[in-house]
């Protein structure tokens, strides 16, 4: 179940709502002529879906039960499950990758590969550190004293990166570097059958422990830990993040509450708003780039120009024909649930986009920055022709793990804030000056019927009979 033997949506999170159409007849009638299905604005609607596959959930629960040895995951149990599911060869002796092996992988890269990895790491690290600096401890006056909050990282972060035939070293950077920038003392990475580039990414991201297992077994090991007396110690992670297949998503839903999670992974999506100033070839390339993620990925085009939609459609046909396999077949399948909508105005495009709340939102119009500011709901915003979504995928700075399926209406992408705790405190130094606050608390406690609360407040009153 851990084998990521198919393209997944690596930069997605928290899918709860998917965009669909009210009728399939319109979409099917355009298939012979257009590669992008044509629908009207009225045909765009929202369909609520559970992000967790029920079969995968039952399988993940069974794996979790098999792994446990008391309060921890047992090392021998983890090895048995990992070997059975193909994470580790039958003759394998360890469920971790050593730091020396990761360093050797980094040193073994070509100069071009190493330079790209170093550059991407640097940009993601700089952005995450800037995020961390944006929130700080505060202190304010209260009656008779002070109150404030402190900002502190969780102790241990668990990061998941897909492996197998479709390794995603960029996800190693996006998760582990962000956790480290937040200040996490320990960073654990899990990725099955890691490629050399994944190991190299683990080295530059300064990962403490690298689990070479995947699926539900990896999530279980990071959530419950492995005791130091039972093998290589894996701490119980306070937060687990990162994209994965349906068993990873199911397992994250199981451990949520035992530890924190970032989001529940779902199909990747891009929505492009464009007018007659857009470059159809560029728009087509961006739609294809999203479609090749997964057969259930979605590429959506909203435009004020019928001519541009037609030109984009033609460009998609030409460009997709030149893709290698399996990318071509994957993209073609994904485009079956993708669509284009002709809108009367850019404002109309914005309204539909806000209803969809796409994971990636590209603006390729006149006054693109202003149009972007008018949009309210999205995971990540990419403004102008040159701000390709793929640049965000590969380390412009902002994180590529973003909310999908409409959840951008209430949440954002992975960031240092996923690993930070805002903890409040208060102190009263002047009892007399605090009496207004004390009296208010007594009144409110009795209004709520909580006499014990009222009496606890009265103990702080200067009118307390005991004084």
**Catalytic site positions:** 359-360
Q: Within a 13 Å sphere around the CA of 153, how many CA atoms are in the beta-carbon half?
A: 20
Q: Which of 357, 389, 166, 359 is nearest to 289 (CA)?
A: 389
Report the Cα 232 to chain-centroid distance in Å.
28
C-alpha 375/C-alpha 353 separation (Å) is 8
C-alpha 85/C-alpha 209 separation (Å) is 21
Phi, psi of 55 (to 5 degrees): -70, -45
Could you tell me whether strands 186-190 and 44-48 are parallel, antiparallel, or unpaired per DSSP bridges?
unpaired
Buried b (16+ CB within 10 A) or exposed e, 138-160: eeeeeebeeeebebebbebbbbb
Q: What angle do CA 192, 193, 198 make, to 5 degrees?
A: 85
- Output the six-digit token pair for 33: 């002529």
Residue with tokens 């495009």: 349
Instruction: Tell me whether the omega of the peptide bond preceding residue 326 falls within 30 degrees of 0, making it cis.
Output: yes
- 3-state helix, strand and coil shares in percent for the chain, rounded to the nearest 5: 45, 20, 35
- Output the six-digit token pair for 138: 């505060």
Phi, psi of 120 (to 5 degrees): -65, -45
Q: Which of 278, 289, 303 is nearest to 39 (CA)?
A: 303
Residue with tokens 């580039």: 197
State the DSSP code for 367: T
| Cβ within 8 Å of residue 416, ≥6 positions away | 128, 131, 132, 178, 181, 182
Could you tell me whether strands 380-383 and 402-403 are parallel, antiparallel, or unpaired per DSSP bridges?
unpaired
**Helices 280-291 and 306-321, interaxial angle, to 10°?**
50
**Coil, helix or strand at residue 335:** helix
Could you tell me whether strands 402-403 and 360-364 are parallel, antiparallel, or unpaired per DSSP bridges?
unpaired
Phi, psi of 421 (to 5 degrees): -115, 130
């Amino acid at each position: 179940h851990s084998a990521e033997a198919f393209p997944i949506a690596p930069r997605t999170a928290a899918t709860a709502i998917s965009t669909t159409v009210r009728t399939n007849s319109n979409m099917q009638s355009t298939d012979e002529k257009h590669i992008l299905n044509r629908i009207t604005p009225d045909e765009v609607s929202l369909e609520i879906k559970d992000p967790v596959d029920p079969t995968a959930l039952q399988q993940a629960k069974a794996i979790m039960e098999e792994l446990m040895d008391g309060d921890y995951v047992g090392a021998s149990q983890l090895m048995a499950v990992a070997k059975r599911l193909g994470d580790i060869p039958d003759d394998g002796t360890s469920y971790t990758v050593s730091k020396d092996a990761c360093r050797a992988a980094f040193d073994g890269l070509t100069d071009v590969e190493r330079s790209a990895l170093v550059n991407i790491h640097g940009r993601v690290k700089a952005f995450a550190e800037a995020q961390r600096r944006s929130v700080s401890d505060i202190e304010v006056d209260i009656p008779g004293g002070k109150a404030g909050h402190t900002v502190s990282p969780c102790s241990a972060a668990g990061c998941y990166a897909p492996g197998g035939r479709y390794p995603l070293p960029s996800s190693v950077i996006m998760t582990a570097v962000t956790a480290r920038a937040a200040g996490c003392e320990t960073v654990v990475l899990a990725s099955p059958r890691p490629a050399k580039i994944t190991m190299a990414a683990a080295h530059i991201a300064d990962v403490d422990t690298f689990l070479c297992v995947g699926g539900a077994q990896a999530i279980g090991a990071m959530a419950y830990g492995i005791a130091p007396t039972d093998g290589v110690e894996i701490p119980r992670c306070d937060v687990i993040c990162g994209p994965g297949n349906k068993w990873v998503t199911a397992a994250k839903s199981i451990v949520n509450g035992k530890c924190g999670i970032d989001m529940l992974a779902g199909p990747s999506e891009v929505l492009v708003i464009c007018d007659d100033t857009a470059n159809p070839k560029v728009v087509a390339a961006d739609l294809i780039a999203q479609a090749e993620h997964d057969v259930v990925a979605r590429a959506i085009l909203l435009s004020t120009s019928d001519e541009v939609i037609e030109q984009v459609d033609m460009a998609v046909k030409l460009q997709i024909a030149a893709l290698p396999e399996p990318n071509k077949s994957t993209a073609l399948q994904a485009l079956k649930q993708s669509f284009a909508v002709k809108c009367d105005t850019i404002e109309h495009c914005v309204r539909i986009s806000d209803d969809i709340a796409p994971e990636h939102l590209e603006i390729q119009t006149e006054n693109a920055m202003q149009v972007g500011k008018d949009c309210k709901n999205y995971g990540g915003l990419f403004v102008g022709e040159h701000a390709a979504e793929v640049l965000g995928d590969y380390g412009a700075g902002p994180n590529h793990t973003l909310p999908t399926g409409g959840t951008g209406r209430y949440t954002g992408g992975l960031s240092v804030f996923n690993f930070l705790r805002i903890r409040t405190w208060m102190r009263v130094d002047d009892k007399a000056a605090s009496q207004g606050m004390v009296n208010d608390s007594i009144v409110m406690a009795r209004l709520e019927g909580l006499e014990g609360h009222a009496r606890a407040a009265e103990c702080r009153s200067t009118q307390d009979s005991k004084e």
